[in-house]
């Protein structure tokens, strides 16, 4: 098996400049996704998010995307595992002002496939309710940018390995997402997921599942939900590009069953990968 490997701007490297604005200010974005036999899964969705986020952050991206795709072909042909792609605004001077000439930094990190013991997709997971709240910042909402302190603090609330995710609410007590995943609820056969217009990350898997559900004519709702709404749901699951769909079976002291809509979406997801 290939060991972890890293390329910076198209050459093997494990370091970046301390003047990189990705470090100085978190001025950049990242994508983490599975790669199978050299093919990054759901790449068009990851690429689209990367491009739109960079545009929002003033990072010229078009030539960078092409370079990333070339890197993947060149360095990761036939590889299976996890790929993290980081794009930053590149090196800068002191101060928030963007440099007159922006040369983005692109970083590809390859990691071996992640294995999750105890088959969480099949048997479901236990989660906790995090104390950490997500702030409200519409101008930042949706992006997978490098400013991730709220997620870091939320994830630091548990150490025990039998908890696999945390439910995170915003400062107005609306349920938003997991620390590393998006959240779906099922009620009376219809699918509900929190709006992400004020905080949260527009997950690629969330978007993919919304497409799959729409194609199956499952009724979809995006809205603002309280914890009580979550607790009153028939089914709850988390999703992201690496884990797929993880059903929630326990948010202590509450338990949930893994229901038919969750199982159907898992099957549709599996099938969609085979088509890709």
**In the complex, which residues of this chain contact a copy of itself (CB under 8 A)?**
6, 8, 13-27, 30, 32, 57-58, 82, 84, 86, 88-89, 94-98, 107, 109, 111, 114, 132-140, 145-156, 171, 179-180, 199
C-beta closer to a copy of itself: residue 44 or 131: 131
Kindly state the smallest distance separating residue 119's Cβ from a copy of itself, in Å.
Answer: 19
**Of residues 172, 167, 158, 180, the one with CA closest to residue 233:** 167
Catalytic site includes residue 144:
yes
Nearest-angstrom CA–CA distance, 84 and 30: 7
Is 177 one of the annotated active-site residues of the chain?
yes
Q: What is the DSSP string of 37-53?
A: TTEETTHHHHHHHHHHH
Quote the CA–CA distance of 202 and 177 in Å, as a whole number.
Answer: 10
In the set 31, 165, 177, 235, the catalytic residue is: 177
- Closer residue to a copy of itself (CB): 1 or 18: 18
**Smallest separation, CB 14 to a copy of itself (Å):** 6
84 vs 187, beta carbon nearer a copy of itself? 84
Whether the CB-CB separation of 200 and 179 falls below 8 Å is answered with no
Task: Work out the widest C-alpha separation in the chain, in whole angstroms.
Answer: 55
To a copy of itself, the closest distance from the beta carbon of 233 in angstroms equals 25
To a copy of itself, the closest distance from the beta carbon of 76 in angstroms equals: 16
What is the spatial distance between Cα 18 and Cα 99, in angstroms, rounded to a whole number?
A: 15
Indicate which residue of 144, 157, 190, 264 is catalytic: 144
Tell me the C-alpha distance between 47 and 52, whole Å: 9
Q: Which of 54, 87, 81 is nearest to 69 (CA)?
A: 87
Nearer to a copy of itself, 107 or 265 (CB): 107
Catalytic residues, by residue number, are 32, 144, 177
């Amino acid at each position: 098996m290939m060991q972890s490997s890293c390329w910076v701007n198209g050459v093997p490297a494990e370091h970046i400049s301390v003047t990189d604005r990705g470090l100085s200010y978190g001025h950049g974005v990242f994508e983490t996704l599975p790669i199978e036999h050299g093919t990054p899964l759901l790449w068009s969705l990851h690429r689209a998010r990367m491009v739109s986020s960079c545009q929002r952050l003033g990072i010229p991206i078009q030539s960078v995307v092409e370079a990333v795709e070339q890197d993947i072909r060149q360095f990761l042909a036939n590889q299976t595992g996890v790929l993290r792609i980081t794009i930053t605004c590149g090196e800068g001077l002191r101060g928030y002002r963007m440099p007159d000439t922006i040369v983005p930094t692109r970083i590809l990190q390859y990691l071996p496939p992640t294995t999750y013991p105890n088959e969480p997709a099949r048997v479901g997971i236990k989660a906790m309710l995090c104390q950490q709240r997500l702030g409200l910042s519409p101008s930042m909402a949706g992006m997978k940018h490098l400013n991730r302190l709220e997620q870091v603090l939320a994830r630091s609330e548990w150490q025990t390995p039998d908890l696999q995710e945390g439910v995170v609410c915003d400062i107005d007590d609306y349920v938003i997402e997991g620390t590393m995943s998006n959240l779906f609820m099922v009620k009376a056969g219809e699918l509900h997921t929190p709006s992400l217009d004020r905080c949260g990350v527009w997950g690629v898997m969330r978007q993919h599942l919304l497409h799959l559900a729409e194609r199956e004519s499952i009724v979809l709702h995006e809205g603002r939900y309280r914890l009580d709404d979550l607790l009153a749901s028939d089914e709850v699951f988390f999703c992201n590009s690496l884990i797929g769909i993880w059903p929630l079976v326990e948010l202590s002291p509450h338990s949930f069953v893994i229901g038919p809509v969750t199982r159907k979406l898992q099957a549709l997801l599996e099938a969609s990968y085979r088509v890709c």
